[in-house]
Chain A
C-alpha cells in the first residue's frame, strides 16, 4: 500500500460528460502529480502541484483542469469527454517540490468513455 488513495477506481461515462477524479496523497507529502496511461500514448505526465500551487505542466488538454486543496488532496476534472480520454489516470505524491524524489502512486482511476 503506497498510502496514496484514488477514487473512484472505475468510472464509465458517455462522451460530452464531465467527471472528477480525486486523490489523497501520502500523509505529509506536499507534491501531487497526475498521469494518464493509455495503450497508444503510454504514461503521460499531466500536471504537478506543490502545496496548493501549480509547479509543472505536461501534456494536459485544455478540457482538463486540476487543483490541490488546502488539505492537500487534489482533483482532476475532465470535461467534454471524448472516446480517446478513456485511460487509467494515476495520481502520485512525493515529499519534494521538485527534483530527486521517488513518487508514490495510487492504484489509479480507470475511466471508460462510451
Chain B
C-alpha cells in the first residue's frame, strides 16, 4: 500500500507558470523527500525536508511540510519544458535496523511551450 498520495494525479501548465503538487501521508515520519522521474528512467532526488522543518528551498523548488496535517507541497516556480516528468513524494520511516522509504502515487507534470 502507498504511504503517500499525491494530488493532482496529472497537471498541465504553460512554460513560465508555477506548478504546485501536494502530498498527504498517513503515519508519523522522520523526513519527507521529493523525487523526479523522467519517463521510464530512474528516480532523481530533488529535496529532503526533516520532520522538524517547515519549509525548504532549492533553486526553483520550494517544499513545505505540515506534520500536523500530514501533508507536504512541492512548488516549482517559472516552470520549463524540461520540468516535464513525474514527481513523487517519499516518506521515511525507521523500521528497527533500517529505513523504509515509501513512495506516493506521483503527479505527472507536463509543461507546454
Contact = CB atoms under 8 A, between A and B. Distances in A.
Nearest to B104: A42
B101 A45 contact: yes
Given A42-B106, A43-B88, A104-B45, A56 B98 contact: yes
A77 to B, nearest CB: 20
Nearest to B41: A107
Contacts of A96: 99
Contacts of A35: 103
Interface stretch (B12-20, B65-73, B89-97): B89-97
Interface in B20-44: 30-31, 33, 35, 40-44
A2 B44 contact: yes
Highest count of chain A CB atoms <10 Å: which of B2, B30, B43, B48: B43
28 contacts: A2-B42, A2-B44, A42-B2, A42-B103, A45-B101, A45-B103, A50-B98, A55-B97, A56-B95, A56-B97, A56-B99, A56-B100, A58-B100, A90-B43, A92-B43, A97-B98, A98-B98, A98-B99, A99-B94, A100-B30, A101-B99, A102-B33, A102-B48, A103-B43, A103-B101, A107-B42, A108-B41, A110-B40
A81 interface: no
Would you call the interface of chain B mostly helix, strand, loop, or mixed? Answer: strand
Given A33-B101, A48-B99, A98 B94 contact: yes
B101 A42 contact: no
Contacts, number: 78
Given A4-B42, A50-B98, A42 B92 contact: no
Contacts of B77: none
B63 to A, nearest CB: 13
Interface string A31-72: 101010000001101001010010110100000000000000
